Structure 1
């Protein structure tokens, strides 16, 4: 898959999928699969146009927007689906002020689009004035086709990045997984911590999540990660260590079962399978250890049943 950070000098006929594709969830995949079908029908490749940073960060800088995937993860997912080219362009104030008509004439047409695929709620151009109906009209004017996909849902729930973010912030991993089509992930770098877990017999990898990555609700989770080419099960705590601190920064700590090795400085991706319990304050170390033993038994059972 090609990743381009500027418009091509020569038009290359393509089917173009438009959207931010944060998380590349099941709704996104349905849209991309439709795009692949159109590309095959027309004998061209499927391209995707995404902007960095997320447009909402430029339009509403006062809002805190946490994302479901890093750019690298999005690109990996898009490549696995079969996207041929990703145009990864900067989103600036100038771009935000581009009219819908200019967006089509200055961005889409130079890409060589012969067909465009968008979701039902796609907006583009200054103040979001562009919508699927307008891009269909502009497609007729400029000679390219347009497919508009309606909302995708599972069990009556509409699939969207915002609904997945909401599920994760409520700790609903099962719902988030069903909408994503896979377990949600958390990627970060292993850093030094207080090393209290090692003293308790539960050594942990302290993970510093990548910037702007959404961290789920505080609590304990059953997880797994690929470490040195091997799938390793574990349990993750997201919390403020209330047993040891009255006030502390929220930390992400993972205890991996049956693993020994130095992970400091390495980047790992943790796959979150299920939430075990809320974070709580214990009356001393013995009570904490009893609960950690219970957590491990429960996590191992869940992961045995899930990871086949």
Structure 2
């Protein structure tokens, strides 16, 4: 799969999927799969156009939107599905002020689109004035087809990035997993922390994630990761260490069970299986150690029953 940050010099006929695809959840996957079907029918490749940064970060920075996936993760999932080329174009105020007609004429047409695939709530152009009906009309004008996919649902619930964010912020890993079609994950670099866990006999990998990444609700979770090709089970704490600090930044730290190795400076991906309990303040180290032993046992029990999926 190719990744490009500018428009091609020559038009390359394609079916083009439009959207943000944050998380590449089951709804996104259905849209991309439909795009593949159209591409095979027309004898061309499936391309995807996404903007970086996320348009909401430029248009509404005060909202502080957090994302479900990194660019690297999105590309990985799209390549798995069969996307030929991903165009990562910069989103700025100039792009935000582009009219829907200019968007089609200056971006879609140069990409060589012969068919476009969008979701039912897709918007484009200045002030979001462009909608699926308008892109269908512009498609008729410029000679390309348009597919508009309706909302994908599960159990009567619309599959959307916002609903997955809500589930994760509530600590509802089961709902988030169902809507994603896989286990939610956290990816980051292992950095040095206070090393208090090591002193207590529960060494942890402190994970520094991107500031744009959504961090689930504070608490303790059963997790697993692939480290040097080996599946390693663990328990993760997301919290502010209230037993030792009155005020502390939220940190993500993972104790890998039956693992001994140096992870500092490495990027790891942690797959979140289940939330075990809330974060709470303990009355001293001994009470904390007793709870950590219970957490470790509970995490093992959950993970032994887990139907592990690939990263």
Per the normalisation by structure 1, the TM-score is 0.99
State the distance in 2 between where 1:20 and 1:231 align. Answer: 31
Structure 2 counterpart of 1:46: 46
- Post-superposition offset of 1:63: 1.4
Which SS does the other structure have where 1:306 is aligned? coil
Partner of 2:66: 66
**Alignment-derived partner of residue 141 in structure 2:** 141
Paired residues of 1:22 and 1:67 also in contact (CA < 8 A): yes
Q: State the partner residue of 1:128.
A: 128
- Kindly report which structure 2 residues correspond to 1:155-166, keeping only aligned pairs within 5 A, or say none: 155-166=155-166
| Aligned mates of 1:36, 1:255 — CA distance in 2 | 41
Q: 1:249 offset after TM fit, Å?
A: 1.1
Contact map agreement 1:189 1:210 (CA 8 A) in 2: no
* Structure-2 residue corresponding to 1:169: 169
3-state SS, counterpart of residue 232 of structure 2: strand
SS of the residue 2:190 aligns to: strand
Residue aligning to 1:98? 98
C-alpha displacement of 1:199: 1.1
C-alpha displacement of 1:228: 1.2
Structure 2: runs of 5+ lacking an equivalent: none
Q: Which ranges in structure 1 are unaligned for 5 or more consecutive residues?
A: none
Which deviates further from its counterpart, 191-200 or 38-47?
A: 191-200
Q: Partners of 2:11 and 2:307 in 1: how far apart? A: 46
* Offset at residue 102 of structure 1 (A): 0.3
Residues in 1 aligned to 2:224 and 2:307: alpha-carbon distance in whole angstroms: 9
TM-score of the aligned structures, taking structure 2 as reference length: 0.98
Structure-1 separation of matches of 2:307 and 2:42? 40
* Conserved? CA contact 1:238–1:251, under 8 Å: yes
CA–CA distance in structure 2, aligned partners of residues 30 and 21 of structure 1: 11
Structure 2: distance between partners of 1:259 and 1:298: 17
Report the aligned-residue RMSD: 0.7
Q: Once the two structures are superposed, what CA deviation does each residue of 1:179-229 show, in whole Å capped at 9, x if it has no partner?
A: 000011111111111111111110000111122010001000000111111
Question: What residue is the counterpart of 1:197 in the other structure?
Answer: 197
Does residue 248 in structure 1 map to residue 277 in structure 2?
A: no
